[in-house]
Structure 1
């Protein structure tokens, strides 16, 4: 054995030699290339024909083809160079207003104009040039000629503050925590983090605050975080869509119920984007819609449908809405370890009417095989920032059983979207 960065490794690893060098510069899975290329051809036709689900399947196949064709060395450079520098370049482009300026023109824009319009002194043109070349290399903008650029759909999307805020949010709340995970796990002998006050977040940000305490100290960052929460689920299958969850049969109150009765309580619902979506897709649904969150969050909930009621509430305290038809938690429990989740769930169980009330949990349910990177990646974000987790079906069943709930059904839209866990009080 030899020592490498303080860890014992087999001696053979220290002089792997020519064989490993050859592997490192050879495609990772050459035997899969032909079948993947054939699949891409077929899925491309389906996508062009407008078949439902074809785009996402094509995206998966293309990603698999990239991984199969790419050499291990190229993969290393993609993770170590491309991804982190792309993030930095995009955040810089947002700060300078590059994406907004490009998106405001229907013509190519020369770099000299960009430098002037974004406030960068013409003497620092070289810096702007470096930024733009990398933004083009990672497809954040489109190069149309020498030192000339135009917008694409990504450019136009991050020209909008609500979407662009994802980058400063992750930089200001998450990236250092993720970077701290390897050292944290090594120091804790790879024990699963279970304390949101002693997690990679505190280590990465050099703070004693919890994530939300840290966030509350910075109103600008807090607003950016709320914007991210309002858009990160865009484009995914929604439980409110026809064919996902039978809203009309299982959620809408019966004709004998009167209008003042509460139909849906969105607990920790942020700016109310879910309730707005519900009202838009189910305009005839009877009953009150209640948005609950901290007062500072509710103050930013603008553009709500007039039928949605704001209610300041701390979900660790007694639930004021008793006997509601449904209580909804969207991406709340994944922020917390199990013991804290039990404290959030207890007031809801106490408020529910057995046999009538439903608890609807809209979160990832990680499958036993073939989990998607959006779920597994978010699991690492939760581990880093909160000592929380994206849970498997077995983990959900164990947690909810301990909380006194019975799962009626786990409703699944597709592999890329969150599921809906429907529960009732377990008598």
Structure 2
């Protein structure tokens, strides 16, 4: 996974920005001023990049298609591992390793150096930066592949598909923009394309920072207070995919007693050989009555943002009878709450997902 830029690195970026600002102040009007403005903008961009969370920034970056395409090409060429350990890879080394045309490699790498993912080195050559370090992890590369192949084509089709539907928001009845563009929902498509599904299975593991992390809620500490028996249901992860979060919860809390159940559509489970150790799979449509009546925790992670208010209310209503019958149960909703103004690119990009 990636790591934050050090404070010394940020200080250096601020110094470079101040130097560029002084150059602009001293530049005469005309071509020199235009060059100084460009340099100042570049240094401001570098500073902004250095302040980000490298792991979170993977998501909005995917929608910069020139970058996600370049990242995918480097993945397909098997080049990321060459940058492990902070190694510098020469241009000729990349050409020899990949068998690609030198000029094509230069053009691809220019996309990544301009974005601060790679740094130009003498030689010429390249070195991965703190911003690019997430791509040394296979889960981030898989997530880039998944969104580039499955999500972005649906996003690009939205001007047409929204116009065809009178610019109405998607519902559970109308289907998602993916279905509008492809004739079936993403989860059924992936169920019949297991190789493509593997990118999603692995890529979902990369969405595990901040409030979306498996340790965002102290499951071990809180559930230990309840004296849960081994045959009781501790957690039901509703629409929990292939169980990667519950797998993490189980590994972080090996002392946790009780069953851990992940519910999702059958096609979702078809993409993997079976559940993680200590986790059970249960086929379930979250718009139907909840079949597990006695769980201590019902958990929705990164789900509600995909649905309009009507559908979100309808899926939550499936738990109302259960929670009324057992008020000691907890309902945990883990998602991003968007402000009315000043939305960041991470949240805006996530909200555009079909």
Q: Same fold (TM over 0.5)?
A: yes
Aligned residues: 305
Do the aligned partners of residues 191 and 238 (structure 1) sit closer, same or farther apart at CA in structure 2, a change above 3 Å counting? same
Measured after TM superposition, the shift of residue 232 of structure 1 is 1.5
Give runs of aligned pairs for residues 187-198 of structure 1, distance below 5 A.
Answer: 188-194=165-171, 197=174
Q: 1:161 aligns with which of 125, 135, 138?
A: 138
Cα deviation, 1:207-259, whole Å, max 9, x if unaligned, reads 22123233333222211112222212335564844xx679745x55534x533
Do the aligned partners of residues 247 and 283 (structure 1) sit closer, same or farther apart at CA in structure 2, a change above 3 Å counting? closer
Alpha-carbon distance in structure 2 between the residues aligned to 1:151 and 1:57: 14
Q: 2:298 aligns with which of 304, 323, 327?
A: 327
- 2:262 aligned partner: 291
Do the aligned partners of residues 339 and 329 (structure 1) sit closer, same or farther apart at CA in structure 2, a change above 3 Å counting? same
Q: 1:100 aligns with which of 72, 81, 102?
A: 81
Measured after TM superposition, the shift of residue 164 of structure 1 is 0.0
Measured after TM superposition, the shift of residue 190 of structure 1 is 4.0
- 1:8 aligned partner: none
Alpha-carbon distance in structure 2 between the residues aligned to 1:107 and 1:377: 32
Contact 2:287-2:318 at 8 Å conserved across structures: yes
- 1:132 aligned partner: 109
Structure label with greater radius of gyration = 1
**TM-score of the aligned structures, taking structure 1 as reference length:** 0.60
**Structure 1: any 5+ residue segments left out of the alignment?**
1-24, 28-32, 38-43, 45-54, 61-78, 386-427
Contact 1:202-1:208 at 8 Å conserved across structures: yes
Alpha-carbon distance in structure 1 between the residues aligned to 2:175 and 2:286: 22
Q: 2:272 aligns with which of 300, 308, 319?
A: 300
Contact 1:99-1:156 at 8 Å conserved across structures: no
Does 1:275 find its partner at 2:246? yes
Contact 1:197-1:208 at 8 Å conserved across structures: no
SS at match of 2:298: strand
Measured after TM superposition, the shift of residue 59 of structure 1 is 4.2
SS at match of 2:281: strand
SS at match of 1:254: coil
Do the aligned partners of residues 197 and 95 (structure 1) sit closer, same or farther apart at CA in structure 2, a change above 3 Å counting? farther
Do the aligned partners of residues 284 and 108 (structure 1) sit closer, same or farther apart at CA in structure 2, a change above 3 Å counting? closer
Contact 1:100-1:156 at 8 Å conserved across structures: no
Does 1:359 find its partner at 2:331? yes
**Structure 2: any 5+ residue segments left out of the alignment?**
1-34, 54-59
Measured after TM superposition, the shift of residue 264 of structure 1 is 0.9
